[in-house]
Amino acid sequence: MEEPALPWRGVRVLEPAVLLAAPFASTLMADFGAEVIKLELPGSGDPMRQLAPIHKGQSLWWKATARNKKSATLDLRTPRGQELFRRLAAESDVVIENFRPGVMEHWGLGWETLHECNPKLIMVRQTGFGQFGPYAQHPAYGMIVECYAGLPDALGFSDTPPVGSSLGDYLAGLVIVYAIMFALYHRDVHGGPGQLIDNAASEAILRITAESRVPALHLGLPAPPKRSADRPYQSMGADDLRVAGFFQTADDRWCALHPGTAGTAIWANLVQVMGREDFLDEAAYPLGSPARQQRRQEIAEVVAQWFRAHTRDEVVSTAQRCNITIAPVYSVQDAMADPHFAARQSFVDVDDEDFGVLRMVNVTPRLSATPGAVLHPGPRVGEHNEEIYGDILKMTNAELRVLRDDGVI
């Protein structure tokens, strides 16, 4: 079967990184045709192979995150492994690593060395806090850097523990991808050299959590409430009578309501459905007045009562029929069963040697001329050793046998 036209075909990525942020970035590149060479420790392989969910001894997380990649084994702690890495870097466009600052230098694989081997190389150094600064040497995972960037402080209730996640890892991965695009464009269009990309996950998260808050706090404006869940019914502004938020339905499910931007008919459609067109009359409630604050609370309570009087499906059906922006709060299982995602083929079935067929999230975004594709799930440890070392480095089977016997590959 002829492979689809993929926009990143011809770009080779060398990935000795482990776990989430950096490998997620290279997965996005592999989805669109980049040749991603995943370097794993001989024998044990990448730590992600041990992450749940595990079925029949196989990590499903690995199957999805390492899709479209090639696997080669290499022990970077050995002198011969380091030499092989330098040779591979000389034949690659991008290196993505996420070791603590100084580790690659200790192995003789730092930026200066690799740049000398390949002046066109783009090197991504993904860490929690960057290559310099007081925290640069601190160990960091997604949940840790999210705390420094203020994400858990903005989620949940103030009288319960903060809410952690792995969103910071995925956000950092997205930043890596567009940084590589910038660097490749500068190199290939403007004729520039390769360059170093210092991507701190904490800064990637700050770009989202602090975008509007930093200017406001700098000017001495009051800090917003610590936790978004402390405002279950939110207004769209200090004096806006429209409400937004999450509301529980009669069948103990949840829906989200957004009343639309100013000038749209969405809020008017909702109050008409509720039979409360009086909510559109704001003349009796002057801006900034206590009466206006009280009125907003009254409106929020009526909206909540309306949700509680209907099931989730009834609410969503009414919203779709009357052009109101309401959504059910889905689980992933709900999304998999939704006809909209089925129509768009948001999930794709991929042939797999262990399970026959394995379903996973499809490629996004959708390009009209060069769409991405999921060609295969995550490979076995060292599955492509002969191809990588033989075809790229022109090594013989005898040489590979020695390296394998010595534990280098």
Give dist(CA 15, CA 213) in Å, integer.
Answer: 36
90 Cβ contact partners less than 8 Å away, ≥ 6 residues apart: 117, 118, 121
The enclosing H or E element of 405 equals helix 397-405
Give dist(CA 178, CA 176) in Å, integer.
Answer: 6
CA–CA–CA angle 378, 380, 383 (5° rounding)? 110
> Token pair of 26, please?
């290279």
> Token pair of 163, please?
């809410």
* Residue 42, preceding peptide bond in cis (omega within 30° of 0): no
Q: Which of 169, 230, 252, 351 is catalytic?
A: 169
The enclosing H or E element of 243 equals strand 243-248
Give dist(CA 333, CA 335) in Å, integer.
Answer: 5
The enclosing H or E element of 317 equals helix 312-322
Residue 235's φ and ψ, nearest 5 degrees, are -90, 165
Choose among 242, 277, 268: nearest CA to 322: 268
Tell me the three state secondary structure of residue 351.
strand
Give dist(CA 168, CA 368) in Å, integer.
Answer: 30
> Token pair of 89, please?
């870097």
Per DSSP, the residues of 70-125 read EEEE--TTSHHHHHHHHHHHHT-SEEEE-PPTTHHHHTT-SHHHHHHH-TT-EEEE
Residue 96's φ and ψ, nearest 5 degrees, are -120, 115
Contact 16, 76 (CB under 8 A): yes
Give dist(CA 368, CA 177) in Å, integer.
Answer: 20
Tell me the three state secondary structure of residue 352.
strand
Q: Is 169 a catalytic residue?
A: yes
Active site residues: 169
